[in-house]
Structure 1
Amino acid sequence: MTDWIGDTFTSTTGWTHLQRLVDTPTRMAGSDGEREAAAATRDALAQHADDAWLDTFPVQGWTRGDSAIETPADTTADTIALPRSPAGTAAGEFVDLSYGLPGDFEDADLDGAIVMVAADVPDWYDRHLHRREKYAHAVAAGAAGFVYMNHVAGCLPATGSVGTGDDPIGEIPAVGVSTETGTRLSRRFEHDTVTLTVDADTHDATSQNVHATLGPDTDAELLVTSHVDAHDITDGAMDNGAGTAMAVELARILAARESALDTRVHFVCFGAEEVGLVGSHHDAAQRDLDDVRAVLNLDGVVRERTLKLYTHRFDALGDAANAVSDTFAHPITVAPALNPHSDHWAYVKHGVPGYHATSDAAGGRGWGHTSADTLDKLELRTFREHAILLAALAARLADDGFAVAHASEADVAAGLTDAGLAEGMQITGDWPY
């Protein structure tokens, strides 16, 4: 009964696939590299699943060109264009808005300005502010350009999309800068006129979701999900090569225990997550959500040794995670909070019970969305430990003895309001109710 644990702790299946993903030149949404990585993931899952296939869908293509901030000192700051930024040039007063809290935007005159905000929020603030929320505030305040400063030191400009599902290309040019570059700009050129330039190409493109299934032919399905794509400036080892590699490892483990599964397990490794959760929304729109027992979304696993599971106020999901933790006498951080960022949200927003499986890490995104998101930051030991815990959790969720009720959309909306998340989602156009 426990042989699978030893097999997992000596397996190289998932880790080998992780290396395959990070060695792909780029996995940017809609790129040839993303298609190559998706096909490789399909082939890896096919080694263990009953069947595996690709589902292609359209996506807004975006290719990064050069970008810059030109200053009065005839110097040019190192920048990277933020995905889905429009191409263009904007000149205006440089305003450092610190953390870019909603109140900061209300108190400042930003009409025609080039506004810079930090990626994080202060410790005392009661919620995370997503990059796109700060961008939306800047647009609403009349800013001409947006500068997003990484909060992690190391000369690492941060990336991240500024588009929305309805409007995939943003309204004003946007770039990312490192902590060091942003600090220097603020010190030397606060209230001076600077010029921000973004060169980018927009075009029609396609992405794809990778599917594979195993277990009995039941109407109900447990979805085990991840995303294949990554930003073009990085290997995307943590975000989210590790999650997709973990899906492959879980397929290997569960295939060996297939006869014990009571519910079909459907693996979906999404495309185009980083540009607005496009792949997961595409899948959710085609699916009878009443047949989804639960979603186990792997995005950010292996980054730190302790697994963290957001349970989105579904008590039964928290109980199942705690039971796995107790069985293995291994810590799992269970967070009941709602977290509307990552691919589980396409389902959870409609009341489908869902986990966001990530890592318990201080410092927010850390190396994520920078060129430092590389394989050397991860440990094989942690990968194997997470695989054991997540496989045990998936098997528990697929058992007839497990039950969790779907929530109403009204209950999810009320939870978002109670958590102070509704306002930001409404500003960014992500409020679905």
Structure 2
Amino acid sequence: MDEFDDADVSWIGRTFTSDVGWQLLEELVAIPDRMAGTTGERVALEHTRDALDTAGVRDARIEPFDVQGWQRGDSRLLADDGEIRPRRDQIALPRSPEGSVTGELLDLDHGLPSDFEERSGEIDGSVVMVSTTVPDDYDRFIHRREKYYYAVEHGATAFLFANHVDGGLPPTGSVGSDESPIGEIPAMGVSKELGAQLSRERVGESITVEVDAEIAPAESGNVVAEIGPESDEEVVVSSHVDAHDIAEGAMDNGAGTATVVEVARALVDREDELDTRVRFRCFGAEEVGLVGSSLTADGTDLDAIRAIVNVDSNVAARTVKLDYHGFDELQAAAEAVADRFDHPVRVDGSPVPHSDHWPFVREGVPGYMVSGATEGRDRGWGHTHADTLDKLESRNLREQAILLTELVVELADGETEIARRDRTEIAADLEADGAAAGMKVTGDWPFEE
């Protein structure tokens, strides 16, 4: 801690006693529905803009954009002997098409690529059910959308996504792609308990999947603000404001947006230390395909971005995790901050092709994915009814805001050099990590073959 001997560290105390971020978090979770394109999301964007403005940064505003709207209606499972209960344990997956389809239930366990290949002859015309997780010894995590598109590719009539977490918690999460925002077959999430019941009692039986939804054009938006000098380069600090409609969205991602606002407040104290502008971007419509961040990346001079620090689902764990995507200087900066504060930080260089850093990182922009260092490869309470404020602690938010404030100051230092990476290097990392195969299935592979 000798580095702080001659420094003004009063900002640390103010950040650790601040309630600015936590207050915004409470405001966000009080909104009944922050689904992309809804009135609730708009209210959340306004709260975020106002919080940034109150924190003292410049030109806090909302930049609107069009989005494919999807609002949940009534959905249910039926069998020949009547409705399958409990209804609370089954929900449509966002961007599922409307409709009613029937097929024999086929349980494909974890839904690994090999599971689909080995039983490909049984899938055509069936209702496929898979787990939200993969075996602990499997070499990579398989995203929901990858499993969904395996089901589509093999001719399934519908897709059931069964949680592996106890508690009567049906999981949510969008389907569809950039080119076709609405998926091709009806999709539902079911709780672990209902999934076990279906596997035990209904495999081989005819079941009907009914999905009702309001599907229409809608409007989302991004919150933007800035601080620091009017420099040619900038450091971007980002999060997403939207959340799934079935819960408070406290961890995912009220926490990330609250942290960004707390960092903004702290940087006001340290503005004279910034050699580079810092731009805050709190994106809309992340949960339905990274829409807000993708539009921003497509319309921005990416060469002007020194680095992006994207905060998503961070406060549920005390230790912050920084995925640095193979950018050596980002690893060094994270470890330097951890050493400076004698505070644990977990770093990982593996590619994370999800969340709002990705439209930038895939183009070679140095970027972090900032999250909580939880055990395991899945999202735990995330994307379920249980993503609620009681799971989080204000201490974690404040500690992480202190570390991230220092990290942003480090990145905005004119003497900090951060080399960009070539797109071919990013693609090679995805191939080596095993993520490329799934991205090609879902239509998310942005690289030429």
Settle same-fold status: TM greater than 0.5.
yes
Match status 1:13 vs 2:13: no
* Distance (Å, rounded) in 1 between the aligned partners of 2:362 and 2:179: 17
Kindly report which structure 2 residues correspond to 1:270-285, keeping only aligned pairs within 5 A, or say none: 270-285=283-298
- Note if contact 2:253-2:313 (Cα within 8 Å) is conserved in structure 1: yes
Structure 1 partner of 2:217: 204
Partner Cα separation in structure 2 for residue 73 and residue 99 of structure 1: 28
Query: How far 1:75 sits from its partner (Å)?
Result: 3.5
Q: Deviations over 1:307-340 (max 9, x none)?
A: 0010001111011101111111111000110000
Unaligned runs of 5+ in 1: none
Mapped to 2, the partners of 1:338 and 1:58 lie a distance apart of 29
The TM-score normalised by the length of structure 1 is 0.99
Alignment of 1:169-184 (within 5 A): 169-184=182-197
Unaligned runs of 5+ in 2: 1-7
Deviation at 1:25, TM superposition (A): 1.6
Query: Matched residue pairs, number?
Result: 433
User: What CA distance in whole angstroms lies between the structure 1 residues aligned with 2:138 and 2:340?
Assistant: 36
The corresponding residue for 2:129 is 116
Partners of 1:366 and 1:69 in 2: how far apart? Answer: 25
Name the structure 1 match of 2:173: 160
Q: Render the CA deviation track for 1:260-280: whole Å, top value 9, x for unaligned.
A: 100100000000000000000
Q: Which of 365, 368, 389 lines up with 2:403 in the alignment?
A: 389
Which of these residues, 138, 145, 153, is aligned with residue 151 of structure 2? 138
**Partner SS state of residue 302, structure 1:** coil
Partner of 2:67: 59
Question: In structure 1, what residue type is equivalent to 2:113?
Answer: P
- The two structures have a TM-score, normalised by structure 2, of 0.95
Aligned counterpart, 1:105: 116
> Is the 8 Å Cα contact of residues 76 and 83 (structure 2) preserved in structure 1?
no
Partner of 2:51: 44
SS of alignment partner, residue 423 of structure 1: helix
The SS at the match of 2:82 is: coil
User: Residues of 1 paired with 2:403 and 2:190: CA distance?
Assistant: 37
The alpha carbon displacement at 1:362 in A equals: 1.9
**Deviating more after overlay: 40-49 vs 349-358:** 40-49
- C-alpha distance in 1 between matches for 2:433 and 2:356: 20
- Which residue matches 1:93? 104
User: Hey, which bits of structure 1, 4+ residues long, moved more than 6 A?
Assistant: none
Are 1:358 and 2:383 matched, yes or no?
no
Residue 353 of structure 2 corresponds to 340
Q: How far does residue 415 in structure 1 lie from its aligned partner after superposition?
A: 1.1
Cα deviations by residue, 1:46-80 (Å, 9 ceiling, x for unpaired)? 12202111111110000111111112342324310
Question: Deviations 1:293-319 (Å, cap 9, x if unpaired)?
Answer: 000000011110110010001111011
- Select the residue among 71, 76, 88 that pairs with 2:79: 71
In 1, Cα distance between equivalents of 2:247 and 2:198: 25
Q: How far does residue 165 in structure 1 lie from its aligned partner after superposition?
A: 1.0
Distance in 1 between the 2:15 and 2:160 partners?
Answer: 44
Give the share of equivalent positions with the same residue, in percent. 55
